[in-house]
Structure 1
Amino acid sequence: MTSGVVAAYGIDLSAVRGQVDAVLEDFLAGKARAAAGRGHPPEVVRTVRDFLAAGGKRIRAMVCVVGWHAAGGHGDVTSVLRVAASLELFVAFALIHDDIMDDSASRRGRPAVHRAMRAQLGGDERAERLGAGGALLVGNLALMWAQELLHTARLDAGRYPVVHGLYDAMLEEVMYGQYLDVMGTDRGPDDLEAALQIIRFKTASATIERPLQLGAAVAGAGATTMDVFTQLGLPLGEAFQIRDDLLDVFGSPDGACRPGLSDLREGKRTVLLALGLQRADQVQRERLRHLVGRADLREREAAEVRDILETSGAREDTERLITSRYEQVLRVLDDAAFPQAADVALRDLAITATQYTS
C-alpha cells in the first residue's frame, strides 16, 4: 500500500487517520471472527472497538506516520501504518486502566468501561468489583493486541530490534509515570518539577517522542534523527498534557469543551495546581488544600478553585509554559530541515497538540 496522502504542501493528516482506522477495523474484525470461532465472549472485541470509535484524535498514530515521512520514508506505508495503529490499541489499554484507577465516570462522552460493566451487573458493591475486574481484562487484551499488531508489521531485520526496543521503552516509561501519578512522589503538590516529571513519563514520551521515533525507526533513521525527535517530542508532549489539564478545569473558550470536576475531585498533581499553590496567598492556599481532592466537590466549590487559579496568576503562568514549549518546538523544526511535507505536518501537529480547536 502506498500512502496517497502526500501533496506538495504537506501530509493529509485526515487521510492518515482514515488509513489507521482501516487497519484497526480490519484487525478487530479478525479478532471478532476468531472469538466467534472459539466461543469467546463477543462483547470483549465489541467493547474495544466501541472505545476506539468513541473519539480520540489519533494523535500518536498520526505522529508516528509523520515521523516516518520526516525520516525519509517513502513508498509502501503498510508497515508504518500497522505500527501506528498498534499505538492506538496501546492508548485504549492505558486509558481504560487509568479510568479504573481514578474511578472516572466517563471517557469521551460515554461511561468509562468499568462503569458501563458495573451498570450491566446491577451497580451494587459486587458489581463494582466485578466491573473493575472485567474492564481490567479488556484493557489487558487491548495491550496484548497492540503488541500482536506491532508484530505483524513487516520490518527489515535490522530495523526490527530498534522498533521493538523503542516500543518496550515507551511501555516502561508509561508504567512508571502511571505509578508516580497513583502513588505520588516524596514532594508536595506545589512542586512544579514533580508534576512535570509525571507528565514526562506518563504522557510526553508516549504521545509525541516515542511515536515520532517509532515512525523514524521504520524508515531506518539513525541516532541524529532520534535525538532531534527527543528535542522536539518532549516539550511538545508536555505542552499537550498541560493544555489537556487546563481544559479539564476551565473548559474551552467556545464552550465545546465544558469545565470538568474530575481532576479537581481526584486531586490530580498537575502543573496548573502546582503553580496555583505557589502563586496563591495563604488564605487561597488553604482553600485549595481544603477543596482540591474532595470526592464530593460541588460545582460551586469548583468555581471557587477556578477563581483562585485565575486571580493568583496560575492560569496565565500555565499558558506561558505551553507557549514557551511550543516556541521551543518551532526552533527545533527551524533547525531540523525536514522534507517540506513533513515539516508542514509537524507544525500542524504542534498547533493541534498545544492550542484548543473544536
Structure 2
Amino acid sequence: MTSGVVDAQAIDLCAVQRQVDAVLESFLAEKVRAAAGRGHPPEVVETVRDFLAAGGKRIRALLCVVGWHASGGHGDVTSAVRVAASLELFVAFALIHDDIMDDSASRRGRPAVHRVMRARLGGGERAERLGAGGALLVGNLALMWAQELLHTAPIESGRQRLVHGLYDAMLEEVMYGQYLDVMGTGRGADDVEAALRIIRYKTATATIERPLQLGAAVAGADDATMEVFTGLGLPLGEAFQLRDDLLDVFGSPDGACAPGLSDLREGKRTVLLALGLQNADLVQRARLDRLVGRADLEERDAAEIRDILFATGAREETERMITSRYEHVLRVLDGAGFPPSADRALRGLAVKATQYTS
C-alpha cells in the first residue's frame, strides 16, 4: 500500500465525472456514426445515450478513478477513466434489465426503457412483450459496449489479466445476485441474512468493491491494497443498498427523494422488510403479508406498511446497520495509509454512498 506520501492536492471529482462523461459521449457518438453507416436502427444508441444522460451520480466510475489514485497511480489517468466509463455502461445494462424484471415504471425520473419501447408499439399484451424484448436487447448492447470500452483501455500488458479477471468476477457476482433476488422474491421474506446475501452479490461488490479494485489493478496495486478495498467496499456497498431501500419506502427527510411504491408492490426481499416481519406481532404480520407484494397497492396501504415498519423498529434498526457499516469503513480508512487526497475523496464518497438519493 501507498503510505506516508505527501499529497496535498485534492482529487477533483467533478473533473473526473466530466472526463468519464466525455469518454462515454465520444464512444457513443462513434456508435451513432457506425449505426448510420451500416443501416442499423438509430434509436438503439440514442436510447442508451438518453439513459446515461438522465442522471446518476457516477459513483462507480468515481470510485474506480479514486482507487487508481489511492494505489499510487500517477501521470496519465486515461486508462483508469476509460475503465471507469466502461462501468457506467455496465450499470446501464444492469439497471435496464433490472427494470424489465421488476416491470418498474420509471428510472431516474423518466419512464423505464421497456416502458418507452412499449409505448412506441402502442398498447396491448403484444406491445408489452415486444417492448420488454427490445429493452432486453438494448441492455445487452450496453453490456457489449461496456466490454468493448474495457478491452480497448490502454492498460499495461502485465496488468490486463487482473483487470479483466476482476471485471468478469463482478459480472458473475451481479448475475448471481440478480438471480437470487428474482427467484427469492416473496419467499423467506423475514430472513435478514438471505436479504443481506442478495445485497452482497448484487450491489456491494459491483458498486463499491470491484470499482475500487479495478482502478487499483490499473495502477498496479499490491494484494494488501486489494484486501483493504474489500474490507471497506463490502460494508460500504451494503450501507449503500440499505439506504436505497429506506429511500424507496420512506423517501428522504428533505423531500429530495419521494416515498415510492415499487419495492412494496414487488414484495422486494429487503433487509428493511425482513426486520419488520421478524419484529411484527401477529396482527402486524398479517397486514404485511396481505399488503406487501400487491401489484395494485395504493398509497393509503403503503402508508400503513410504513407505519408498521416504523412501529416494529425496522426503520430504526436499518439506520443503525447503515451507521455501523459507515463507521467500520472509517476505521478501515484510518489504518489504510492512503495518500491524503485519496483518503479525503474516499471519505467523501462514503458519505455520498450512504446518503444516495437517485
Partner of 1:287: 287
- Return the letter of the residue paired with 2:138: V
Q: Which has the higher contact order (CA 8 A, sep 6+)?
A: 2
Partner of 1:113: 113
Shift of 1:222: 1.3
Partner of 2:302: 302
Partner of 1:72: 72
Partner of 1:124: 124
Partner of 1:329: 329
Q: Hey, what's the Cα distance between the residues in 1 that align with 2:101 and 2:114?
A: 10
Partner of 1:4: none
Q: Hey, what's the Cα distance between the residues in 1 that align with 2:356 and 2:23?
A: 28
Partner of 2:4: none
Partner of 1:3: none
Partner of 1:103: 103
Q: Hey, what's the Cα distance between the residues in 1 that align with 2:221 and 2:72?
A: 8
Shift of 1:10: 2.3
Post-superposition Cα deviations, 1:306-340, rounded to whole Å, max 9, x if no partner, equal: 00001111100000000000000000000101000
- Alignment of structure 1 residues 37-52 onto 2, 5 Å: 37-52=37-52
Q: Quick one: percent identity of the two aligned structures?
A: 83
Is the Cα contact below 8 Å between 1:187 and 1:194 reproduced in 2? no
Is the Cα contact below 8 Å between 1:252 and 1:356 reproduced in 2? no
Partner of 1:352: 352
Q: Hey, what's the Cα distance between the residues in 1 that align with 2:335 and 2:277?
A: 37
Which shows bigger deviation, 121-130 or 201-210? 121-130
Shift of 1:42: 0.5
Q: Hey, what's the Cα distance between the residues in 1 that align with 2:283 and 2:125?
A: 39
Is the Cα contact below 8 Å between 1:67 and 1:211 reproduced in 2? yes
Which shows bigger deviation, 280-289 or 25-34? 280-289
Shift of 1:11: 1.2
Q: Hey, what's the Cα distance between the residues in 2 that align with 1:335 and 1:357?
A: 29
How many residues are paired up?
352
Q: Would the alpha carbon gap of residues 356 and 203 (structure 1) be closer, same or farther in structure 2, given more than 3 Å must change?
A: closer
- Return the letter of the residue paired with 1:243: R
* Structure 1 SS opposite 2:244: helix
Partner of 2:158: 158
Query: Unaligned regions of 5+ residues in structure 2, if any?
Result: 1-6
Is the Cα contact below 8 Å between 1:9 and 1:344 reproduced in 2? no
Partner of 1:343: 343
Is 1:319 the counterpart of 2:319? The answer is yes
Q: Would the alpha carbon gap of residues 137 and 73 (structure 1) be closer, same or farther in structure 2, given more than 3 Å must change?
A: same
Query: Unaligned regions of 5+ residues in structure 1, if any?
Result: 1-6
Is the Cα contact below 8 Å between 2:186 and 2:269 reproduced in 1? no
Shift of 1:14: 1.2
- Alignment of structure 1 residues 255-274 onto 2, 5 Å: 255-274=255-274
Post-superposition Cα deviations, 1:227-247, rounded to whole Å, max 9, x if no partner, equal: 010000000000000000000
Is 1:189 the counterpart of 2:189? The answer is yes
Shift of 1:344: 0.1
Shift of 1:186: 11
Q: Would the alpha carbon gap of residues 173 and 123 (structure 1) be closer, same or farther in structure 2, given more than 3 Å must change?
A: same
Shift of 1:8: 2.7
- Return the letter of the residue paired with 2:242: I
- Alignment of structure 1 residues 57-68 onto 2, 5 Å: 57-68=57-68
TM-score of the superposition, structure 2-length normalised? Answer: 0.97
Q: Hey, what's the Cα distance between the residues in 1 that align with 2:229 and 2:192?
A: 24
TM-score of the superposition, structure 1-length normalised? Answer: 0.97
Is the Cα contact below 8 Å between 2:244 and 2:357 reproduced in 1? no
